[in-house]
Amino acid sequence: MSNRISEKLSVIVALLRVAIGWHFLYEGIAKLFTPGWSSASYLDLSRWIFAPLFQWISNSQTILRIVDLLNIWGLLLIGLALMLGFFTRLACFTGASLLFLYYISNPPFIGMDFGVPTEGSYLVVNKNLIELFALLVLGILPVSKAFSIDQLLKQLRSSNPKGSPPDSNRREMIKNLATLPFLGALAFAVAKKKAWESHEEKNLVDVVTSASVKSFDFSSLGDLKGQIPVTKIKNMEVSRIILGGNLIGGWAHARDLIYASKLVKAYHHRDKIFETLLLAEKCGINALLTNPMLHGVVEEYWRRNIGKIQFISDCGGDDLLERTRLSIDSGAAACYVQGGIADQLVREGNFELIGQALNLIWDNGLPAGIGAHYIETVKECVDYGFEPDFWMKTFHHLNYWSANQEQEHDNIYCRKPEETTRVMQQLEKPWIAFKTLAAGAIEPKEGFRYAFENGADLLCVGMYDFQIVDDVNIALEVLDEELNRQRPWYA
């Protein structure tokens, strides 16, 4: 190989080493300065041969903390060593080992991905694998030590100790420090980014309750005070708090904020949905209540053995019986006639279709329920003679500022809470209350206590992942209180 080719190769190899080092170092810095960062969700979603080991790490708070620290400082030190060319081969092989762990924890194999290409992760080959092989090549190539501290130290050891090195040696020393400006550039970029974030935090945000949150210091599993107790609806064991599916499905009730549904859809990509469901299960929530059109996501969650959360279907859609069959075929643990549909059928006097749906559910051995937004729907179904296994009824008080009875609002779902309490008091079947927080207008502790005290047996609550631990802790606190409850517990 000619000297010119060798020199060009050395430059390219050095740039590759610096680029990978930049990536490692920035990943470490980002994790170090992200409050509450943890690898837990990444480990939880592992589904390959070492999945039990990774999940064991995730489930132990002490070991997880150690792994997180090793991860952060490993990225920082490997990245710094690669950029400077210090202990280059050790950094290359250590970095490759770390990337190997990333790869085997969540490999992009058929049946383990989401069925569509995602950034940096395609079929079998992803960016972790590419960087892994690149580091192995760098660790083997002799020219990988060019433009490096390693080469500088080697040069200093071979220099004449009695005098200054000749000009050629000075040039070599400068060349071996050539990657320092890249490190400075990264430091400058990070400083600029932090300065802008500080500017945003100081001038563009308010407090933790505002839309722009100053602190993302939300509760994690380490703050969990217990698990939600489990009860029964017919032959189905179900937690007293059920995870609502509206936020996951993108049905956001946010008054006149027309962008909210698109926002929650963008937030709840499949990976985030899986994280949310798994976190709910770890808090003792064992059921998700949602529309049958989300059955594919739930089935994939089961198929990948991420968790076992039950699917309660509202059978919502244009064709009630078709959606009921779809729900049953998709593995629903229970089904009910969705509230809006039941309201409409009762107004039309079409009780026969409600009865057909209930019989279809019962014929397949599942608990069957009736939902309602209006208490009149419940009363007329009772008068008709329906005896479902459970009732789904909206329930919340009206003591919040936007509950204007003179106008229709997208956060009022129970216009007659006192009458709802009286009617449900007479029904000896489990009652799942939903819309208990009036689309975020009522504080969870206030809404949960009101619903449980006034007769609800279970609550269906829509939650983002960062709200689950707090809401579970609140529910446990309310359930532990001496509630002024008149209606017996029917679940």
Mapping DSSP to helix (H, G, I), strand (E, B) and coil, where does residue 379 land?
Answer: helix
**What pLDDT band is residue 41 in, cutting at 50, 70 and 90?**
confident
Mapping DSSP to helix (H, G, I), strand (E, B) and coil, where does residue 47 land?
Answer: coil
β pairing state of 368-372 and 334-337: parallel
User: Which domains can be identified in the chain, with CATH numbers?
Assistant: 3-147 (no CATH), 221-480 (3.20.20.100)
Least confident interval from 70-74, 109-113, 293-297: 109-113
477 or 165: which leads in pLDDT: 477
**Looking at the predicted structure, is the pLDDT value of residue 193 above 90?**
no
1 or 451: which leads in pLDDT: 451
β pairing state of 310-313 and 236-239: unpaired
Put simply, whether the predicted model's pTM sits higher than 0.95 gets the answer: no
- Measured between alpha carbons, how far is 259 from 264 in angstroms, rounded to an integer? 9
Ranked by mean pLDDT, the top range of 160-164, 223-227, 374-378, 402-406 is 374-378
**What is the per-residue pLDDT across 393-446, written as a single tens digit (0 to 9) for each?**
999 999 887 776 555 556 678 989 999 999 999 999 999 999 999 888 899 999
- Written as six digits, the tokens of 254 are 């946010």
- Pair 332, 292: CB distance under 8 Å: yes
**What is the per-residue pLDDT across 246-280, written as a single tens digit (0 to 9) for each?**
888 777 776 667 777 788 888 888 888 998 999 99
Placement of tokens 């080493």 in the chain:
17
**Looking at the predicted structure, is the pLDDT value of residue 163 above 70?**
no
- Written as six digits, the tokens of 120 are 């940096």
Least confident interval from 84-98, 218-232, 253-267, 332-346: 253-267
**Looking at the predicted structure, is the pLDDT value of residue 304 above 90?**
no
User: Which of 361, 322, 337 minimizes the C-alpha distance to 236?
Assistant: 361
